[in-house]
Structure 1
Amino acid sequence: MNEADRFSPERCPRLIVKVGSALIVDQDGEVREDWLRTLVQDIAERRKQGQEITVVSSGAIALGARRLGLPGGGRNSLEDAQASAARGQIALAQVWAGLLDEQNLQAAQVLVTLGDLEDRRRYLNAAATLSRLLSLDVIPIVNENDTVATERIRFGDNDRLAARVAQAANGDGVILLSDVDGLYDKNPTHHDDAKFIPVIRNIDDIEGMADGRSASGMGSGGMVSKIEAARIATTVGADLAIVSGHPDHALRVFAETGRGSVFVGEGTAGARKAWLAGGLTDEGVVIIDQGAVDALRNGNSLLPAGAIRIEGKFQRGDLVTIVDSKHNKIARGLVEYDYVDAARIIGRRSEDIPRILGYAPRSALVHRSHMAVL
């Protein structure tokens, strides 16, 4: 089997594509617009085939540094990086929007910080925004918000960000378009006998093969960050590929040749939610009736009508345990309401909730996308 088939529209309904700085911005600090146009054409073709795509785009700092005349690609200091990002993000968004518009596609800019995807409440907001944009046939263009990130509180590279976005967006696959064509058993720049590794099923076996250097000197990542991204993606059930972005139509070339290193996800959609199932202390309990138990086990969300009572003073985004009337554990998930509003709507029909709360409600008490059935 061509391992690239794992990322086809048929097998990968929701794909995250990360594009490295060296691919988007040349050594003079200008956008490689002709190359980027071919990538956008690939994205448009996949979108026509039904694949939902989110782009994680590097390049803002490198682009902004050129426009501000800052040395070192804008990375000589945190202040330079923040200023470069502020200037470059506008230019980068304009380029993406213009090229996608040529393909009759809309772009939306999504800037996130580490805290947005690590804090559970903010994670829910980011996840909801991404899902809604994709449902509206929009291509989200995601980048780290380097204008406010600090050295201690940031992703630091867009490889790991792409993997986190895959988690938030329920992505089925991640393609890292890079200045390298995959993983080798040793650095091919320094070793002529380096062997290419096309498929990786156990990351622990290859962890020591990488170094942290970016081949171009323009980006902030290296092979170490890509392997860390692969660990994040695969443990939530998504496949991840490291692919050369140098050729025109890089996604098409990958699909046709299969050239790249593919890290195979460790499970099905159940594994994607494994982090919810264990290891975290819940902030409350929701007791549900038998009808809701059956609904959850059939893959549905928990609606307020199925809840009998709640325990604990949880906030929206906190982890709660869902139990039946005998306190048997049924599921764990991130709750969509704080305990005050949840108490007001349990047992009530969906059409009654706007009147009770006085605002448009969330679709569920605990949405299936943020729930692990035990």
Structure 2
Amino acid sequence: MATLSTAKRVVVKIGSALLVDRVSGDLRGDWLLSLAEDVTALKQRGTDVILVSSGSIALGRGVLGLPRTELPLEQSQAAAAVGQIRLARAYEEALAPHGITTAQVLVTLEDSTSRRRYLNSRATMETLLGFGVVPIVNENDTIATDEIRYGDNDRLAAQVAVTVGADQLILLSDVDGFYSANPAEDPNAHRYDVIDEITGEIEAMAGDAGSGLSKGGMKTKLMAAQTATAAGCAMAITEGSRMNPLRGLEQGATATWFTAQLDPHAARKGWIAAMKPRGEITVDTGAARALGTGKSLLPAGVSRVDGTFGRGDPVAILDETGHKLGQGLSRYTALEAKKIRGHHSTEIEPILGYPGRAALIHRDDMAL
């Protein structure tokens, strides 16, 4: 079974009801400072941390004097615009004393459904984590509409975990795990410590109950678990209102763990390998040898480009005899790839007229 102490890269989802006091509408500052201590402890032992935080609308509605009931879309977006800047500042002020730099990342559903935008999001997050930054991710409620929104941050957190290749996802919630029924209504309901497989029976147990300031119920948490575990990421649901909730989880606080069958790296490679290629890229002998040692594919090693494909599309990688070495997600369109093939990365900007990425296909986006 996964434990937080073994995490290499962890995504932590924080619900509105944990971060914002339901009565006053104020930020729970002491709780946030205790969370910052937990994040610092994880960072100090080399774990990458990404926080997916609700709270912008809850904070903004308090500032604007809006009721704590369902708001019209335009009022939700206005509340998010006011609350988002306060939310980002709160995280910055909580983590900065520990020497941790934060970054705000706002996303919409389109950022995951479009492969090009998905790759851009992944590259940005990887760069931030490489600098030791803790990204604070939230749905861009200011511009999101019903057609393009995730609808809850449980699913958003799972998608972020998949995007960054996290091995663990922690949902800090107002419940301490997954129950066979709603424990508030059924005294015989029991909590699962570990769920190895999400069966139809488990799905039938999930209800739609949510708390006053949050949108997510157990059904959305189960959907998040399905997304995360399929991508090789274990997921935990635990009660998060206590001080130092991550430390508490590590020390044995009650929770439900959903186990992953694969590691994130293998799951991602399998996903890429299963795609139907939109084109072909032929590489020279030197590039083929470099790919075999785990290198990215640079334009200099490409001898031929065939097909019509866009950024983020899957392409087959062939050697000079036509043998398929594998496939990957291209960071350039077919037209761009044809222009820069055979050239060094330093020549990309002069050729295309704008700066580009050094690799045509990054090793993380490749299955050989």
> Is the 1:238–1:272 contact (alpha carbons within 8 Å) kept by the matching residues of 2?
no
Q: Which amino acid aligns with 2:115?
A: R
For the residue of structure 2 that corresponds to 1:261, the secondary structure is strand
Using the alignment, how far apart are the partners of 2:7 and 2:16 within structure 1? Answer: 25
Kindly indicate whether residue 40 of structure 2 is the aligned counterpart of residue 44 of structure 1. yes
1:183 counterpart letter in structure 2: F
AA at the equivalent of 1:210? A
CA drift at 1:258: 5.1
- Report the equivalent of 2:239: 244
Matches within 5 A, 1:98-137: 98-137=93-132
Cα distance in 1 for residues equivalent to 2:291 and 2:196: 31
In 1, distance between residues paired with 2:81 and 2:244? 29
Alpha-carbon separation, structure 1, partners of 2:246 and 2:323: 47
Q: Within 5 Å, which residues of 2 pair with 1:80-91?
A: 80-91=75-86
Query: Contact 2:2–2:234 (CA<8 Å) still a contact in 1?
Result: no
For residue 282 of structure 1, report the CA deviation from its aligned partner: 2.9
Counterparts in 2 of 1:255-274, with a 5 A limit? 255-257=250-252, 259-268=254-263, 269-274=265-270
Partner of 1:229: 224
- On the 8 A contact 1:236/1:274 being kept in 2, the answer is no
1:137-216 mapped onto 2 (5 Å cutoff)? 137-205=132-200, 206-214=202-210, 216=211
Is 1:220 paired with 2:215? yes
What count of residue pairs does the alignment treat as equivalent? 365
Determine the structure 2 residue equivalent to 1:317: 312
Taking the aligned partners of 1:35 and 1:100, their CA distance within structure 2 comes to 13
Aligned ranges 1:4-15 → 2 under 5 Å: 5=3, 7-8=4-5, 11-15=6-10
Query: Which consecutive unaligned segments of at least 5 residues does structure 1 have?
Result: none
State the SS of the aligned residue for 1:317: coil
1:58-77 equivalences in 2 (<5 Å):
58-73=54-69, 75-77=70-72
Q: Is the 8 A contact 2:12 2:49 kept in 1?
A: yes
Q: Matches of 2:259 and 2:309 in 1, distance apart?
A: 36
CA distance in 2, matches of 1:111, 1:12: 24
Partner of 2:14: 19
CA RMSD of aligned residues (A): 1.8
Deviation per residue, 1:116-145 (Å, 9 max, x gap) = 121111111111111111111111100000
In structure 2, relative to structure 1, the CA distance for the partners of 1:87 and 1:281 (3 Å cut) is same
Per the normalisation by structure 1, the TM-score is 0.92
Deviation at 1:160, TM superposition (A): 0.7
> 1:236·1:273 contact (CA, 8 Å) conserved in 2?
no
Following TM superposition, by how much is the alpha carbon of 1:359 offset from its aligned partner in structure 2, in angstroms? 4.5
Alignment of 1:216-365 (within 5 A): 216-257=211-252, 259-268=254-263, 269-278=265-274, 280-365=275-360
Q: Deviations over 1:130-179 (max 9, x none)?
A: 11111111111000001111112210001111111112112121111111
Contact 1:56 1:143 in 2 (8 A): yes
Q: Residues of 1 paired with 2:340 and 2:232: CA distance?
A: 34
8 Å CA contact retained: 1:234, 1:266: yes
**Partners of 1:64 and 1:85 within 8 A in 2:** yes
Which residue identity is paired with 2:58? A
Which one of 51, 56, 68 corresponds to residue 55 of structure 1? 51
Query: For residue 159 of structure 2, what is the amino acid of its counterpart?
Result: R
* Runs of 4+ displaced beyond 6 Å: none
Taking the aligned partners of 2:289 and 2:183, their CA distance within structure 1 comes to 54
CA contact (8 A) 2:193 2:255 kept: yes
CA distance in 2, matches of 1:281, 1:272: 15
Specify the code of the residue in structure 2 equivalent to 1:54.
I
Q: Is the 8 A contact 2:349 2:355 kept in 1?
A: yes
Q: Which moved more, 1:87-96 or 1:350-359?
A: 350-359
Question: For residue 229 of structure 2, what is the amino acid of its counterpart?
Answer: T
Q: Which sits farther off after the overlay, 323-332 or 29-38?
A: 323-332
CA offsets per residue over residues 227-276 of structure 1, 9 Å max, x none? 11111111111111111102110000100115211111121221133322
Q: 1:287 to 1:184 in 2, by over 3 A?
A: same
Matched to 1:212, the amino acid is D
Report percent identity of matched pairs: 46
Cα-to-partner distance string for 1:34-70 (whole Å, 9 max, x where unaligned)? 0111001100111111111110000111111111111
